[in-house]
Amino acid sequence: MRIVVLDTEKCKPKRCVKECRGSCPVVRSGTEMFEFETPTSQPVIHENFCTGCGICVRKCRFHALTLINTPERLDEDLTYSFGRNSFHLFRLPIIKPNSVNGFVGQNGIGKSTVLKILSGDIIPNFGNHDIEPSWKNVYQYYKGTELQNYFQKMIDKKIKCVRKPQYIESLSKHVKGPVKDIISRFDERDVLDSLQTELALDKIWSRDVEVLSGGELQKVAIAVAMAREADIYLFDEPSSFLDINERLRIGKAIRRLIDQEKTVVLVEHDLAVLDYLSDYVTTFYGTPASYGIVSLPYTEKEGINVFLDGFIPSENMRFRDYSITIQKSSVREKKIVSDSLLSYQDLTKVFEKSDFSLTVRGGTIHKNEIIGILGPNGIGKTTFIKMLAGLETPTTGTVEHLSLSTESEPANDESTSNLKVAYKPQYIAINSDLPVEDYLLKEAGAIIATSQFKSEIIRPFRLDGLFEQPVNQLSGGELQKVAIISTLAKEADLYLFDEPSAFLSIEDRLIAAKSIRRRIQSRKAAAFVVEHDIVTQDYASDRIIVFLGTPSKLGKAYTPSSVRVGMNRFLGNIKITFRRDPKSGRPRVNKLDSKLDRLQKSQGEYYYEK
């Protein structure tokens, strides 16, 4: 099957007729490429004039067209499309009752669209835009399949779904008042007190929702969804903005819904959380923003490994040309060169107004080394990063750069730093209407245009397709990619990344980790990465700095240690054990109080390297 996807922001019909008649891949023999749909008057391409072979010398000069060939057998499995030349979704997942059904895949691949279909917010149109879609047609289409009963119950209103949306930033605009009042307003299951305890909402229980942070808003949104009475609970990226402790806490609470004979559907980019929560995993694959295909469900272990491997055995389908494997941190640690780049003494930072203090044990960082920073929110990780960047001055202690680059010029305070520092902050605020390419050229210079940087950094992120889009129109994930690439493009000796995986899909998180490593090795530099995703942190880090203490009160950072020692220290504090998957090498969370969980705790091994 062939799909032609049109970006109407980049392609203007009149411009095409005048400037592109001879070069557009879907224009043949002078035939106009457009017709107009009514009543929207949106341009639609005549697909029958293009084979989508991909080798034609004719290219859209404005990068407005995406030509995709998908397997012919999917021609009859189109479930939903937003328009004739817009995103196409093939198939629907099979939902296993009384279990947690996890969805995994890239951003823009159809996961949220499926949640909206399952909740009844979107009616499948099967690609037919000439008639009004109806649930009766949906039932007839899936008659004789496992989805028949689901849609029959939906038609008869015998099933109720509650959906926690992906984006919760606007929650404070729609609801007002203290957290307790908001949750009690939706408390249909009489679980107000238990939710307060299970989700650790005590500190914000009386606060107004307007003053909550992103992580606190996320917990309120989850609590509101869980308080309502439903048969199926749909959670779209519930771990966003939360630290690993909070992620596992909400994971335990969500899994308790299964004990009450509820069904849960979950979209999640944190592999450890997805593995911990799910009973079954469904893979979504395809081309982001163009088309998505839904696989059959697998057990949680097999499903995640299928996604990482990029190959679906039951369909003999390879959807990625490489497999993702995670090398043991002990192997990476042996490759660290001995040349020191940065040393810092014991540091302290006291904020008198907020009554928060941070103590950091001294350490030495080497060239070609990535230091992972792990700890709960509000414990001082960002403050430490800013001290290294010269944006915050320690109350006591100094940072000493031992090995200076001959090309380096002072980037911060001359008394503390002669190394060039590149810093990606936690919160990205770029208010620019420049196209992405122009913005990157302005921020990072001509390296953006070099073939090496494009092939090693930009293309793996698939950012070149967004080069003409204004920066202020990018999604959260796209903006994160721009910030990471802008930071990596700078000629620095020390790279600092504060939560680079936020809003990114699993693949993009691992691409970011790989890109950071490639860049510091080519520069003989070093990097610090603040990250809550255990799998990404394990994939990226050579050593770990663990932050513990009391959030918003007292933070204590240990000296850099091996990943195994650091992870054992951190996981032992929250009483969670991990093991390694023998096939992919990824860390896997042991189910609480399982045989292996009890064994590892008895041995003091919270993080197995084996």
Residue 178: beta bridge partners? 208
Taking CA atoms, 449 is separated from 289, 405, 443, 464, 489, in Å, by: 25, 24, 13, 11, 10
The CA-CA-CA angle for residues 472, 478, 480, to 5°, reads 95
The CA-CA-CA angle for residues 199, 241, 284, to 5°, reads 100
3-state class (DSSP) for residue 152: helix
Residue 162: beta bridge partners? 233
What is the pLDDT at residue 316?
78
Kindly give, in sequence order, each residue whose CB lies less than 8 Å from that of residue 76, ignoring residues fewer than 6 positions away. none
User: Could you write out the DSSP letters of every residue in 589-601?
Assistant: EPPTT-HHHHHHH
Nearest-angstrom CA–CA distance, 383 and 381: 5
Nearest-angstrom CA–CA distance, 225 and 234: 9
Kindly give, in sequence order, each residue whose CB lies less than 8 Å from that of residue 307, ignoring residues fewer than 6 positions away. 104, 105, 281, 283, 506
Residue 102: beta bridge partners? 266, 281
Taking CA atoms, 382 is separated from 53, 88, 212, 290, 515, in Å, by: 49, 41, 18, 37, 22
Convert 87-120 to b/e letters by CB count within 10 Å (16 or more is b). bbbbbbbbbeeebbbbbbbbbbbbbbbbbbbbbb
Taking CA atoms, 597 is separated from 261, 579, 602, in Å, by: 25, 9, 9
Please say whether the beta carbons of 515 and 457 come within 8 A. yes
Kindly give, in sequence order, each residue whose CB lies less than 8 Å from that of residue 149, ignoring residues fewer than 6 positions away. none
Nearest-angstrom CA–CA distance, 495 and 474: 24
Residue 292: beta bridge partners? 89, 286
Tell me the CA end-to-end span of the chain in Å, nearest whole number.
45
User: Could you write out the DSSP letters of every residue in 189-207?
Assistant: SS-HHHHHHHTT-GGGTTS
What is the mean pLDDT for each group of 10 consecutive residues in the chain (610 residues)? 56 51 51 48 54 56 59 68 85 94 92 93 90 91 89 90 86 85 94 94 91 88 96 93 89 93 94 92 89 92 92 83 73 64 91 89 93 92 91 88 39 54 88 89 89 90 84 86 94 93 89 92 93 89 94 93 92 90 86 90 84
Q: Which residue has the tokens 């990344």?
A: 497
Nearest-angstrom CA–CA distance, 483 and 486: 5
Tell me which residue of 543, 524, 348, 513 sits closest to 420, measured CA to CA: 524
Task: Tell me the Ramachandran region of residue 358: left when phi exceeds 0, alpha when psi lies from -120 to 50, beta otherwise.
Answer: beta
As given in the structure block, the two tokens for residue 18 are: 């005048």
Q: Which residue has the tokens 């020692």?
A: 565
- The pLDDT tens digits for 331-382 are 555 556 568 888 899 999 999 887 899 999 999 999 999 999 999 988 999 9
Amino acid at 545: I
Q: Which sign, positive or negative, has the C-alpha torsion 179, 180, 185, 186?
A: positive
pTM for this predicted structure = 0.81
The CA-CA-CA angle for residues 528, 529, 530, to 5°, reads 125
The CA-CA-CA angle for residues 227, 231, 235, to 5°, reads 60
Kindly give, in sequence order, each residue whose CB lies less than 8 Å from that of residue 250, ignoring residues fewer than 6 positions away. 199, 219, 222, 238, 239, 242
Going along the chain from its start, the domains and CATH numbers come out as 2-69 (3.30.70), 168-229 (no CATH), 329-430+490-574 (3.40.50.300), 575-610 (no CATH)
Count CB-CB contacts under 10 A for residue 542: 23
- The pLDDT tens digits for 142-163 are 998 889 999 999 888 899 999 9
Sequence-ordered strand ranges (E) for 53-177: 65-69, 78-81, 88-90, 100-104, 161-164
Nearest-angstrom CA–CA distance, 206 and 158: 36
Kindly give, in sequence order, each residue whose CB lies less than 8 Å from that of residue 520, ignoring residues fewer than 6 positions away. 368, 369, 370, 495, 526, 527
Nearest-angstrom CA–CA distance, 308 and 189: 38
Nearest-angstrom CA–CA distance, 24 and 577: 56
